[in-house]
Structure 1
């Protein structure tokens, strides 16, 4: 995984306009490369500076090709960072999101010294719920976040502290 930058704009444009992304996450209204660059600068790049974390590019080990993103997000309405991930079509179900999420979780408990992570998911996104459960997340409750029209499932994961590790 690597930090996001302007070079990732084409990937973001494809990812943000994937029908599965729009259905399970949201339509961000990003339709051009310039909008994708702005989306990266205003999202991931700004988050690195403000919080020390953000969304990271997922690359295939064999080719280095960008295939998605995974990382931590600070969202209005949540009391801490949440895990997010998305893959381009054709890369789901192959373990890429699981491997990337495990790296993000390790970073959260290590470098960032967090004790808990959250994750939100549309209740009909069975694959994402399965991944969260495989990662050790537990269902907490349904919530409604600001600027989101429908309820979401909220999951949490307790991270071991340095003293307990």
Structure 2
């Protein structure tokens, strides 16, 4: 993974997620908020997590040079969440997403990581627009998207999914 770029903020390191993050990804994907707001990905073992990383995260990284990043604290080198730029089916353009372990919420980490990726998208990756999706009930995510400068655009449904999602957008 070392050939792909990592990013740093004041308190965080954002490294492209790789198989070495399987144990962390297993924990994160099974937190109550992940399952409630993002959905059960049926990742119930380290092997499942490695397969998820291999088939859901790495193909986009290899194709576009960016994807999902594991968010690590600079000070203690603890993996606390993920933040990424995704080329998601059903969304016109690139979508930003984030998820953190419960004990690391409410510390500004999601804002710090997402803000860094938005700036990187606009300044380094020449992405002209950032989208984000969230459920109607995920008020904390909606609040963070607004704080990041995204504006509510419309209600959408992704292919093969009946859930109505809120689409937010930020143009460069």
TM range (shorter): over 0.9
Per-residue CA deviations over 1:106-151 (Å, capped at 9, x if unaligned) read: 1100221011010000011010000000000000000011122310
Native 8 Å contact 2:94 2:127 kept in 1: no
**Among candidates 146, 162, 166, match of residue 133 of structure 1:** 146
Task: Report how many aligned residue pairs link the two structures.
Answer: 159
Q: 2:53 aligned with 1:36, yes or no? A: no
Task: Provide the rounded CA distance (Å) in 2 between the counterparts of 1:88 and 1:148.
Answer: 25
Instruction: Show the counterpart of 2:107.
Output: 94
What TM-score, normalized by structure 2, do the two folds share? Answer: 0.90
SS in structure 2 of the partner of residue 45 of structure 1: helix
Gap runs ≥5 in structure 2: 1-13
Normalising by structure 1, report the TM-score: 0.94
Structure 2: distance between partners of 1:75 and 1:106: 20
Residue 91 (structure 2) aligns with: 78
Misfit runs of 4+, over 3 Å: none
Once the two structures are superposed, residues 63-108 of structure 1 have per-residue CA deviations (whole angstroms, 9 ceiling, x without a partner) of 0110110011111111111000000111111111000001100110
Flag structure 1 segments of 5+ consecutive residues without an equivalent. 160-165
Matched position secondary structure for 1:90: helix
1-side partners of 2:130 and 2:161: how far apart? 20
Indicate the RMSD between aligned Cα atoms, in angstroms: 0.8
